Amino acid sequence: MLTQTTTDLSRGVGQLNVSIQNVLTDPSEVGRLTKETEDLTLTVDANRADIRNLTAVVAGLQRATPDVGNQSDNASSVTGDISSLARDMQKMMTDVGSLTSELGNVKGDVGNLAGELALLNKTLKDRASQDAGNENGQLQGTRTKKKIYIDLKAQEGCYRLLNGTHQIGCGSAQAGNVGVVHYMETDEDWDWVLKTGTTTPFAAVLHSANFTAKNVRRLVQSGRVNGIAVISVNLTAPVDGFSADKSCPNDAYGLYHDNADFENCKNETWNQAGHGLVFDDLGMPIFSLTEESDVESIINKCYLKFNKPVNGKARPYPLCAVQLESFMQAAKDTETCIRRSELVLNLNPVKFCDPLGDQNIVATLKAVPYNETRPESSVIVVGARSSTEKDVMFALFQGEAFDYIGSSRMVYEMGEGRFPVSFDMSELDTLKLQKINLTHIAQFIELSQVGRRDDSNSLWMHVDPAVLKQERTTVDAMLQQLKSHGTTAGTHLMETPEGKPLPPASVQRFLMDRKFPSIVITDHEKQFTNRFYNSHFDLAKEIDADYPSDNITDWYNATTRQSNLTASLATTLARYLFNQVTGRDPSSSEQAILTADSEEVNHLYYCYLHSPHCDLFNTTVDPKDTDALKKNTKPYPFYVSIHYKTTELTQLTQRVLAYFTGKEVINATEDTCKVMSDDTGITDERYSYLWMHGPDSGGERKPMCYKSTVLLSVAKSPAFEIDDYDWSSGKYSTWTESVWNTFRVRVFLIPSKQFQVLTLTVGIGFLLVSLVIVYFISSSADVLFQNASEPPQS
């Protein structure tokens, strides 16, 4: 069995980032967008050509991909079992290759997040109508508040994360941070805010191109700035690249921690664009302004009108200020926060933070039942060995950017004998999947970042020096096999020089426990070619996965340079795995089957990076979720998020993987689409069953049931499972995300101190004088009104 933990191609490709907009969960935003979708509007904002802003209506798109089902029938008739095996692999690889490359982001994300000042999208409140009402001066019947504040729609902001020893990210005071708005355009503006301006504290408004670690740190360290807003409407990346992750990502939790030769990137600084901004505790709020109307409000209605210095002099009060509110409940570190959350003080315990986590997605080629022995070293098969049956396991690890959450949990589960499912041998009346332990793994091929190849178009195969020393023969054979299949499939694979360490990779967590042959495939030999590692600038255009045509309806069925490259890589891996499983090279007819379709790969890129409302997702989604999907036009965020929430992307990826690797159950209904008992009454729980919306045929979709080996496996750091875990031990990821209530940005005027003091003084004066006068009148009322019963004299 070949287990190929093909993991994580992670981040691959440079990806698209895709910010962290969690739009699916947001009903009001969804409502707003729906209307556009229903009107079949193609909203391509010419000014915002980046992917997030595209509202593609894919309803009319035809799925031109060859029918995979027919293909497989032909295949099996030609080559029998092996072919169908190969066919499965091919399909799997097709996707996994490309899927994982995008999913890279899943693991990435540090960037997107907290650090990079992570932009997270919570409920967008649709206040547009209110704002409109305020425009014309006809304000009767509205609250005074409406005349004082312009509420911005911005809901993406940096928040606070905590690990075992520190807190990082952003947060405002409980009532929000208020600062005088200053738009940072020229050097004079920087001078003004950092040194000469007198109207402190400021709130700096930056264009995304100026949002660099250096600039942010200057602002924070000046002590004169209370908050930062970043204009991200036309997302322009800083010229020098931008990565909020460290220059040596995940080092402390990887294989080379405490390794004298390689620790701390001594040999190679992988992420040279990384300045570790995400790991700063900035202590102030940072928001991202993604709406044109917000930028209009803060720049035109506020800054230019009231604040912009004239001839180097500050304008008179009232000045325009912005309030950035993102108060974070958690503080100090994960240990403190967990302890506080566990205090039982009353019947409504308060939670201050949530562990990061999601679900790893795992699919095995074979469903080895619990009552069959899984031979040692059988899960990834070595090419030279031609034992009959090998298994391949595909795995997508989640939360890897946060100190390897997904992979460390899988290794932990394997060590505990619970992977992929836990069962008790004594009470087995159902058929379960046999366990996989570390000793079962024969080889491990990891796809890391593969999207931004250098000019020679090469991909690089990295091998850990210790592994190479111990398993030289096997690894050499693997490298040669991969290279030769790469040559025929059109992928140029190169070896890195011997003795170089692995780049940041999930396999490091496995190798920490056991050394087995393993290869990490990346697009870089030395430092990352991706200058936007784990950042929101990591977009489709960076990896040539964007489209030249302006006509959105053409995009889904197009092919891009990236989809061709990824398809070729998928083909290479499929043929390599065929070889590893069967012990022979595929024949030419098998090779034809073992060829990934570039257009199908593009479908994946489109769905993940451009618009989730695409045919592939609509085909595989649960019919119950179709409305939610329809309302979503922005790509789903790749942020791992908190552990009890299985992200939309994970759910969809699980379904897509099941769709490509599983089989349709004929004549199933929604009720029967579940684990079934066979004739002997034994329930077969080795497979999972998913009820899908079905392919589009003439505007109608007929739901279908898919049976596959795809399963989800918890990706939550073991640190939260182990009793009395030592939070500062550095063994497992300890990241948690703070709880918060509101993300709010509003713009308004603030009066001068003098005016306020004057108002207060007048008020107090009135009160005191009134008290004296009324006391006098009241005490002498008898005298003053002594003619009361007589007619007045006037």
Partner 1 sequence: MTIMEFFGCTFISYGLPFAMFLFTIARDPLRVIVLIASGFFWLLSLLLSSLLWFAVVPLRDQLAFGLVFSVIFQEGFRFLFYKLLRKADDGLQKVSQANEDEHVMPRDISNKHIMAYVSGLGFGILSGAFSIVNVLADMAGPGTIGIYGDSQYFFITTAFLTLCFVMLHTFWGVIFFNGLDTKRYWMIAYVGVTHMLVSCLTLLNQRTDSRPEPLYLATLIPAYIVMVVSGVMAFFVAGGSVQNIKAAFVCRKGRYEID
* Site residues (vs partner 1, CB under 8 A): 134-140, 143-145, 147-150, 175-176, 178, 301-302, 318, 320-321, 323, 746-751, 755-764, 766-771, 773-776, 778-780, 783-794
Between residues 699 and 791, which has the closer beta carbon with respect to partner 1?
A: 791
Between residues 345 and 788, which has the closer beta carbon with respect to partner 1?
A: 788
Between residues 70 and 789, which has the closer beta carbon with respect to partner 1?
A: 789
Assess whether the previous peptide bond of 623 is cis (omega < 30° from 0). Answer: no
Between residues 149 and 689, which has the closer beta carbon with respect to partner 1?
A: 149
Give the three-class secondary structure for 523: coil
Q: Which residue has the tokens 């000014």?
A: 47
Compute the least distance from the CB of residue 761 to partner 1, in Å: 7
Between residues 62 and 770, which has the closer beta carbon with respect to partner 1?
A: 770
Between residues 92 and 321, which has the closer beta carbon with respect to partner 1?
A: 321
Helices (H), 536-647: 552-555, 561-582, 588-593, 598-605, 615-620, 626-630
What's the farthest any 2 CA atoms get from each other in the chain? 125
Between residues 19 and 199, which has the closer beta carbon with respect to partner 1?
A: 199
Between residues 656 and 747, which has the closer beta carbon with respect to partner 1?
A: 747
Between residues 306 and 516, which has the closer beta carbon with respect to partner 1?
A: 306
Compute the least distance from the CB of residue 604 to partner 1, in Å: 46
**Which of 638, 738, 533 minimizes the C-alpha distance to 111?**
533
Between residues 80 and 133, which has the closer beta carbon with respect to partner 1?
A: 133
Compute the least distance from the CB of residue 92 to partner 1, in Å: 56
Who contacts 128 (Cβ-Cβ below 8 Å, separation ≥6)? 153, 293
Between residues 28 and 742, which has the closer beta carbon with respect to partner 1?
A: 742
Let me know: does 67 contact 644? Beta carbons within 8 Å.
no
Residue 312: other Cβ atoms inside 10 A: 9
Let me know: does 192 contact 182? Beta carbons within 8 Å.
yes
Compute the least distance from the CB of residue 787 to partner 1, in Å: 4
* 124-128 long-range Cβ contacts below 8 angstroms, 24+ apart: 124/23, 124/26, 124/28, 124/29, 124/32, 124/153, 124/155, 125/28, 125/151, 125/153, 125/155, 126/28, 126/29, 126/31, 126/32, 126/153, 127/151, 127/153, 128/153, 128/293
Pairing of strands 177-183, 202-207: parallel
Q: Which residue has the tokens 């063994």?
A: 731
3-state secondary structure 629-640: HHCCCCCCCCCC
Compute the least distance from the CB of residue 324 to partner 1, in Å: 11
Between residues 200 and 779, which has the closer beta carbon with respect to partner 1?
A: 779
CA atoms within 13 A on the CB side of 520: 30
Between residues 69 and 763, which has the closer beta carbon with respect to partner 1?
A: 763
Between residues 175 and 310, which has the closer beta carbon with respect to partner 1?
A: 175
Instruction: Report the C-alpha dihedral over residues 505, 510, 513, 516, rounded to 10 degrees.
Output: -100
Please state, in angstroms and rounded to a whole number, the distance separating the CA atoms of residues 707 and 684: 11
- Give how far the C-alpha of residue 479 lies from the chain's centroid of Cα atoms, to the nearest Å: 32
Please state, in angstroms and rounded to a whole number, the distance separating the CA atoms of residues 180 and 731: 44
Let me know: does 317 contact 759? Beta carbons within 8 Å.
no
Burial class for 217, CB neighbours closer than 10 Å (0-12, 13-18, 19+): middle
Compute the least distance from the CB of residue 563 to partner 1, in Å: 48
Compute the least distance from the CB of residue 47 to partner 1, in Å: 25
Give the three-class secondary structure for 323: strand
Between residues 287 and 404, which has the closer beta carbon with respect to partner 1?
A: 287
CA atoms within 13 A on the CB side of 704: 19
Compute the least distance from the CB of residue 283 to partner 1, in Å: 19
Please state, in angstroms and rounded to a whole number, the distance separating the CA atoms of residues 234 and 47: 7
Query: Which amino acid belongs to residue 547?
Result: Y
Please state, in angstroms and rounded to a whole number, the distance separating the CA atoms of residues 599 and 160: 40
Compute the least distance from the CB of residue 189 to partner 1, in Å: 21
Supply the DSSP symbol for 543.
Answer: G
Compute the least distance from the CB of residue 37 to partner 1, in Å: 33
Compute the least distance from the CB of residue 749 to partner 1, in Å: 4
Compute the least distance from the CB of residue 775 to partner 1, in Å: 5
**Which of 743, 746, 748, 750 minimizes the C-alpha distance to 200?**
750
Between residues 131 and 268, which has the closer beta carbon with respect to partner 1?
A: 131
Compute the least distance from the CB of residue 304 to partner 1, in Å: 13
Pairing of strands 286-289, 225-231: parallel
**Could you please report the per-residue DSSP string of 644-705?**
T---HHHHHHHHHHHHHHSEEETT--TTT-S--B-TTS-EETTSEEEEE---EETTEE--EE
Compute the least distance from the CB of residue 136 to partner 1, in Å: 8
Phi, psi at 648, each rounded to 5°: -55, -40
Compute the least distance from the CB of residue 173 to partner 1, in Å: 11
Structure tokens belonging to residue 357: 């986590």
Supply the DSSP symbol for 228.
Answer: E
Compute the least distance from the CB of residue 126 to partner 1, in Å: 20
Distances (CA, A) of 695 to 617, 621, 650, 704: 10, 10, 21, 9
Between residues 172 and 210, which has the closer beta carbon with respect to partner 1?
A: 172
Compute the least distance from the CB of residue 784 to partner 1, in Å: 5
Compute the least distance from the CB of residue 200 to partner 1, in Å: 14
Between residues 201 and 420, which has the closer beta carbon with respect to partner 1?
A: 201
Structure tokens belonging to residue 679: 């004739």
